[in-house]
Structure 1
Amino acid sequence: LVEEVLDRQPDTIRSFLLHTSVLDRLTGGLCDAVTLGTNGRATLEQLDRSNLFLVALDDRRHWYRYHHLFADVLHARLIDEDPDLIDELHRRASNWYSANGEPAKAIDHAMAGHNADEAARLIELAAPAMRQSRQEAALGRWLEALPDGLFTNRPVLAMGLIGARMATGNTTGVEPLLQLVEESVHRTDLSPIVFDTDMFEHLPAQLLIQRAGLALLAGDLNSASAHAVDALELVEPDDHLRRGSATALLALAHWAAGDLDTAIHRYTEAINELTTAGHLADMLGCSLALADIQIAQGKLTDAQRTFDSGLRWTAEHPGLRGAADIHAGLSEVLIERNDLDAAAHHLETSNELGESAGLPQHAYRWRVTMARLQRAWGNVNGALELIDEAAPLYNTDFSPPVRPVGAIRARVQLALGELDAALRWVAERGLTTDDELSYIREYEHITLARVLIARHAAVPDSHELDDATRLLERLLVAAEHGGRTGSVIEVQILLASAYDARGDTAAAIAALDDA
Structure 2
Amino acid sequence: MGDLHSRPPPAPATKFRPPVAVLSLVTRHKLMAVLCAAGRRRLILIYAPSGFGKTTLVEQWRAELSSSGVAVAWLTVDDDDNNVVWFLAHVLEAIRRVHPAVAASLGQVLEERGEEAVRYVLTSLIDEIDEIGTPVTLVIDDWQRVSHSRTTEALRYLIDHGSHHLQFIVNSWSRARLPLSKLRLRDELVEIDCDNLRFDADEAQALLKDIAGLADSDVAALTASTDGWVAALQLARLSLRGDGDASGLLRRMSGDNEVVGELLAENVLNTLEPELLDFLWATSITERTCGELASVLAGVDGGRDVLEDVERRGLFLRRTDDDPPWFRYHQMFAGFLRRRLERDSPDRLKRLHRTASDWFAEHGYLSYAVDHALAAGEATRAVDLVERDRTIGSVNRSRMTTYLGIIDKLPTQLVNSRPRLNLSIAAANILLQRPAAIEAALDRVAGAISKSDLPAEKRADLTLEADVLRAVAQMNADRVEGLAHLVARVISRPKTLRPVLPQATATVAAFAGIYRFDFEAAHRALEWAAPYDEGAAAGYHSCWEGIAARHQLDIPRALRSFRKAFEIGAAVGRESQAARHAGALLGELLYEMGGFAEAADLLEESYRLGPEAGAVDYLVAQYAVSARIKAAQGDRDAAGSRLDAGMTVAQRLGLPRLAAAINHERVRLQLPIAPPEAARLQAVRRVFHGSNGIATIAAELDEASGIRLLSRSRTRDDRDRACRRAGALLAGIDPTARPLAALHARLLLAETLTAAGLAKDAGDHIAAVRALCTQYGLPQLLVDAGLG
TM-score by length of 1: 0.72
2:492 to 229, 233, 246: 233
Distance 2:307 2:682 in 1: 69
Q: Secondary structure at the match of 1:385?
A: helix
2:702 is the counterpart of 1:448: yes
Asked if 1:139 corresponds to 2:403, the answer is yes
The residue aligned with 2:110 is none
Please tell me whether residue 157 in structure 1 is matched to residue 421 in structure 2. yes
The answer to whether the aligner puts 1:331 opposite 2:587 as a matched pair is: yes
Greater shift, 138-147 or 371-380, is seen at 138-147
1:127-156 CA deviation, whole Å, 9 max, x = no partner? 235234243444345446644432565332
Are the equivalent residues in 1 in contact too, given 2:650–2:656 (CA < 8 A)? no
Is the 1:214–1:224 Cα contact (8 Å) retained in structure 2? no
Would you say 1:281 and 2:536 are equivalent positions? yes
Alignment of 1:67-86 (within 5 A): none
Say if 1:56 and 1:414 are closer, same or farther in 2 by CA, change over 3 A. Answer: farther
Amino acid at match of 1:485: P
Match in the other structure for 1:177 = 444
Q: Distance in 2 between matches of 1:304 and 1:479?
A: 24
Q: CA deviation at 1:499?
A: 1.7
Q: How does 1:386-405 map to 2 (within 5 A)?
A: 386-389=642-645, 403-404=657-658
The CA distance in 2 between the partners of 1:105 and 1:429, in whole Å, is: 57
Q: In percent, how many aligned pairs have the same letter?
A: 17
* d(CA) in 2 for partners of 1:245, 1:491: 33
Q: Is the 8 A contact 1:153 1:191 kept in 2?
A: no
**Is residue 2:525 matched to residue 1:269?**
no
1:416-455 equivalences under 5 Å are 417-421=670-674, 423-425=675-677, 433-437=685-689, 439-455=693-709
The structural deviation recorded for 1:337 is: 1.9
| Aligned residues of 2:284 and 2:338 also touching (Cα < 8 A) | no
Deviation at 1:221, TM superposition (A): 4.2
Match of 2:550 in 1: 295
C-alpha distance 237-501 of structure 1, shift in aligned 2 (>3 A): same
From 619, 639, 646, the equivalent of 1:383 is: 639
Letter matched to residue 436 of structure 1: F
Equivalent residue in structure 2 for 1:322, among 561, 578, 593 = 578
The runs of 5 or more residues in structure 1 that have no matched partner are 185-189
Counterparts of 1:372 and 1:55 in 2: how far apart (Å)?
57
Letter in 2 for 1:7: A
Structure 1 residue 204: deviation in Å? 5.2
> Is the CA contact (8 Å cut-off) linking 2:395 and 2:424 kept in structure 1?
no
State whether structure 2 residue 759 is matched by structure 1 residue 495: no
Q: Which residue of 2 aligns with 1:103?
A: 366
| Counterparts of 2:615 and 2:539, CA distance in 1 | 13
Check the 8 A contact 2:688/2:696 in 1, yes or no. no
Q: Is the 8 A contact 2:547 2:558 kept in 1?
A: yes
Q: 1:455 to 1:430 in 2, by over 3 A?
A: closer
The equivalent residue for 1:476 is 730
Contact 1:53–1:66, Cα closer than 8 Å, also in 2: yes
2:744 partner letter: E
Using the TM superposition, give the Cα deviation of residue 306 of structure 1 relative to its aligned residue in structure 2, in angstroms: 1.0
Mean Cα deviation higher: 505-514 or 75-84: 75-84
- Greater relative contact order (CA < 8 Å, ≥ 6 in sequence): 2
Aligned residues: 489
1:4 Cα deviation after fit: 1.9
Query: How far has the Cα of 1:56 moved from its partner?
Result: 5.7
Change (3 A) 1:442 1:427: farther
- Once the two structures are TM-superposed, the CA of residue 491 in structure 1 deviates from its matched residue by 1.9
Partners of 2:587 and 2:683 lie apart in 1 by 31
| Residues 110, 116 of structure 1: 8 Å contact kept | yes
Residues 361-419 of structure 1: CA deviation (Å, up to 9, x unaligned): 7996885364444234332322333344455567999xx95850x34443454466433
Asked if the contact 2:291–2:326 (Cα under 8 Å) also holds between the matched residues in 1, the reply is no
Q: CA deviation at 1:327?
A: 3.3
Aligned partners of 1:477, 1:127: CA distance in 2, in Å? Answer: 52
State how far apart, in whole Å, the 2-side matches of 1:436 and 1:88 are.
68
| Counterpart for residue 187 of structure 1 | none
Once the two structures are superposed, the pairs formed by residues 346-385 of structure 1 within 5 Å of their partners are 346=602, 367-368=622-623, 370-385=626-641
* Alpha carbons of structure 1 residues 204 and 175: separation in structure 2 relative to 1, 3 Å: closer
Could you tell me how far apart the structure 2 residues matched to 1:330 and 1:237 are? 35
2:511 pairs with 1:252: yes
1:99 CA drift (Å): 0.7
CA distance 1:478–1:452, change in 2 (3 Å): closer
- The AA in structure 2 aligned to 1:274 is Y
Counterpart in the other structure of 1:191: 453
Q: 1:429 to 1:16 in 2, by over 3 A?
A: farther
1:222 is displaced (CA, Å) by: 5.3
Stretches of structure 2 that go unaligned for 5 or more consecutive residues are 1-47, 54-229, 236-264, 270-275, 770-788
Q: Shift in Å at residue 512 of structure 1?
A: 1.9
Letter in 2 for 1:244: Q
Q: Secondary structure at the match of 2:734?
A: helix
Distance of 1:484 and 1:297 partners within structure 2: 6
In the alignment, is the contact (CA less than 8 A) between 1:325 and 1:359 conserved in 2?
Answer: no
What SS does structure 2 have at the residue aligned with 1:139?
helix
Distance 1:27 1:338, change over 3 A: farther
Deviations 1:44-92 (A, max 9, x none): 8987999x998967xx55477989xx98x89999999989989888655
Normalized against structure 2, the TM-score is what? Answer: 0.50
Larger radius of gyration: 2
Aligned counterparts of 1:324 and 1:41: Cα–Cα separation in 2 = 50
Matched, 1:340 2:596: yes
* Residues 46, 137 of structure 1: alpha-carbon distance in 2 compared, 3 angstrom cutoff: same
Partner of 1:126: 389
3-state SS of the aligned residue for 2:673? helix
Matched, 1:3 2:51: yes
Structure (1/2) with the larger helix percentage: 1
Cα distance in 2 between the residues matched to 1:337 and 1:455 = 27
When residues 39 and 76 of structure 1 are mapped into structure 2, their CA distance, relative to the original with a 3 A threshold, is: closer
Q: SS of 1:322's equivalent? A: helix
What is the match of residue 38 of structure 2?
Answer: none
Deviations 1:259-314 (A, max 9, x none): 333223323333x1431xx4x22332232233233333333321221133234545
Contact preservation (8 Å) 2:678, 2:706: no
